[in-house]
Amino acid sequence: MAHLKTDFLMHMGTMDQSDLLKELRIDSRHREDAGGTPSRWPWIAAAIVLALVLLGGGIWYFLGGKTFEVQVATATAPSASGSDTAVLQATGYVTARREATVSAQITGTLTQVLIEEGEHVDKDQVLARLEDTAQKAALAQARAQQQAAVATLAQYQAQLAQARRDLKRAQELVGRHLVSQQSLEDAQTQVASVSAQADTQRKQIELADAGVKSAQVQLDYCTVRAPFAGVIIAKNAQVGEIVSPFSAGGGFTRTGVGTIVDMDSLEVDVDVNEAYINRVQSNQPAQTVLDAYPGWTIPAHVIAVIPTADKSKATVKVRIAMEQKDPRILPDMGARVSFLEETKKGAAAPLPKGVLVPATSIVQRDGKSVVFAIDGGRARARAVSPGQTFSDLRLVEGIAAGTQVVKQPSAELGDGAKVTVETTAK
């Protein structure tokens, strides 16, 4: 062994450094021979990185890049007033009992439209005018006929006066036996005939008067007036268009000039679950809160419970009168109504904790009840503790009054997702 070791050292001593490097270098042919094929690990690593990038992009698109269109509702605190306690709450919309689309009573071409949206108009105020050349001509003709009938009557009246004088003379002459009895009878016949003609002409004058009135009515139809005082909420026609009280084929004829609403007739219509309708009765005190103004409570009372149920929704319609009139109240606004019941003295119940939100806004995420609050154009998941149910509303703790929440969150909606609020009222 010692001899072999000595020979190995002597051999190493005689080798040049360059020879050592050549010995250590691995030829590519030997590497291919050893493995059979070049290494694939770099390509596999690149594929994994690309897949991760694509996955991250997809997650960003669905959770961060995709925008959801949602309906929102405002969380409100349970209400009570003095000795009254809310026994039921329901949601609905502001409606107008007096709303009309005003149209002309005849078919004609518009020459003037004197209204704009948002303008207040008084009763009988002129809203529009139609082309009235034909109606004016018809009125002038009727008046001419009326004047001719009056002139003819004057002629008959003059003839009648003369006939009566002739009859008087004939009567005197017959008494003196200066004319025959036949002459007297002829004079009497003339008086009767002219008198009948005068009576007939009076009827013709009445007919002519009626013709004038009819022509005047047709002319008045060319002026469209407001049937009651209110606010214009829609302008439906422009100058040059044809309007008609009847629907015409082809869609080229307008059936209305504008829509007017009597703001003093606004009320709230709500749908109450039929399981709770026994808590509502006529003249019952109530309170209304508009979705647009969650901090404003409007005194109200029940006008009537409509005596029919909607079998598709299992609800009963209730009409609510608001006891305050305000320009902020507009048709089709969302509203929440609290039906009140007077409590007995000494039995006032404390207000429940939390806020009221639509029951459909509460969803489950990771085993927790959450609502999605709108914050800066994004939906933020907020954990809540659900409580008592009031019709289609539910009491929850975990968010503040005035918070806007998504009414019906979809399964794809996640925390931080971009959202846009639907602008439709219903």
Joined tokens for residue 62:
């669905």
| pLDDT(371) > 80 | yes
Cβ proximity of 293 and 386 under 8 Å = no
How many Cα atoms within 13 Å fall on the side-chain side of residue 117? 6
CA distances from 63 to 315, 371, 376, 397 (A): 37, 17, 16, 27
Give ∠ CA 170-171-177 in degrees, rounded to 5: 85
Tens digit of each residue's pLDDT (9 = 90 or more) over 298-307: 999 999 999 9
The model carries a pTM of 0.56
pLDDT at 230 over 90: yes
**Nearest-angstrom CA–CA distance, 284 and 317:** 15
- pLDDT given for residue 361 in this prediction: 92
Q: In what side-by-side order are the strands of the sheet with 108-113?
A: 223-225, 126-130, 108-113, 242-243, 253-254
Q: What's the N-to-C CA distance of the chain in angstroms?
A: 102
Confidence (pLDDT) at 251: 59
Task: Kindly state the tokens that stand for 298.
Answer: 């409007």
- Asked if residue 84 has pLDDT above 70, the reply is no
CA 250 → CA 130, 247, 253, 254, distances in Å? Answer: 21, 9, 8, 11
Predicted confidence (pLDDT) per residue in 256-292, tens digit:
899 999 999 999 999 999 998 998 999 999 999 999 9
Q: pLDDT value at position 352?
A: 73
Pick 312 or 29 by higher pLDDT.
Answer: 312
- Grouping H, G, I as helix, E, B as strand and the rest as coil, residue 296 is coil
pLDDT of 65 reads 59
Cα–Cα dist 37/93, whole Å: 76
Residues 49/267, Cβ–Cβ less than 8 Å: no
**Is the predicted pLDDT of residue 6 greater than 80, yes or no?**
no
Grouping H, G, I as helix, E, B as strand and the rest as coil, residue 213 is helix
Of 268 and 35, the one with more pLDDT: 268
* High-pLDDT (> 70) share of the chain, %: 80
Mean pLDDT is highest, among 93-107, 247-261, 377-391, for: 93-107
pLDDT at 185: 86
pLDDT of residue 342: 59
pLDDT: which is higher, 248 or 170: 170
User: Dihedral of the CA atoms 297, 301, 307, 309 (nearest 10)?
Assistant: 10
More confident residue, 127 or 246: 127
Q: Is the dihedral of CA 23, 27, 29, 34 positive or negative?
A: positive
Among 54-63, 185-194, 198-207, 244-253, which stretch is predicted with the lowest mean pLDDT? Answer: 54-63
The distance of Cα 199 from the centroid of its chain, to the nearest Å, equals 61
Confidence band of 76 (pLDDT split at 50, 70, 90)? confident
CA distances from 366 to 58, 363, 374, 407, 414 (A): 22, 10, 20, 19, 11
Between 230-234, 259-263, 264-268, 337-341, the lowest mean confidence (pLDDT) is in 337-341
Compute the distance between CA of residue 182 and CA of residue 174 in angstroms, rounded to an integer.
10
CA angle 77, 80, 83 (to 5 degrees): 165
Distances (CA, A) of 19 to 7, 9, 14, 172: 18, 15, 10, 179
Q: Do 110 and 237 meet the contact criterion of CB atoms below 8 Å apart?
A: yes
* Length of the chain measured in residues: 426
pLDDT value at residue 17: 44
φ, ψ of residue 98 to 5 degrees: the values are -120, 100
What does DSSP say about strands 84-96 and 80-81: parallel, antiparallel, or unpaired? antiparallel
Which stretches does DSSP call E strand in 66-121? 67-70, 72-74, 80-81, 84-96, 99-102, 108-113, 120-121
What pLDDT sits at residue 81? Answer: 47
